[in-house]
Amino acid sequence: MSKIKLSSIADQLPRAWNSTVVGQAAGANVKVLRMDDAAYPDESHDFDEALLVLDGCMRLDLQGQVTEVQAGEAFIVPAGVPHAVAPGSHGTLVIIDR
């Protein structure tokens, strides 16, 4: 068991939007990444996905409707729902998924 400094790991990643798995809990992957104001394209999954903003703001685009998720907030995207990230998103994001 050890502490994980999520923001430090995100800062050291070679590219923005390139997540890395930092551990697993209850069968789920815990990932971290750095957002850099650029958009991220539409995707969907066959599992629910939790998006937790540690610092900054994620502009989550759900079928053309943009929702801002601020530091300390999370958004659960249900399985099968297409989602993208709109320009202007920045900071550190934690993703919990399969």
A 10 A CB-CB count for 83 gives 19
Under a CB-based contact definition with an 8 Å cutoff, are residues 60 and 69 in contact? yes
Both tokens of residue 74?
């999370």
CA distances from 71 to 10, 61, 79, 97 (A): 15, 17, 23, 19
pTM of the model: 0.94
Q: How confident is the model at residue 2 (pLDDT cuts 50, 70, 90)?
A: confident
> 4-29: per-residue pLDDT in tens?
999 999 999 999 999 999 999 999 99
| Res 60: pLDDT | 98
Rounded percentage of the chain residues whose pLDDT exceeds 70 = 99
Residue keyed to tokens 């629910």? 48
Task: Report the sign of the C-alpha dihedral through residues 70, 71, 76, 82, in that order.
Answer: positive
> 80-91: per-residue pLDDT in tens?
999 999 999 999
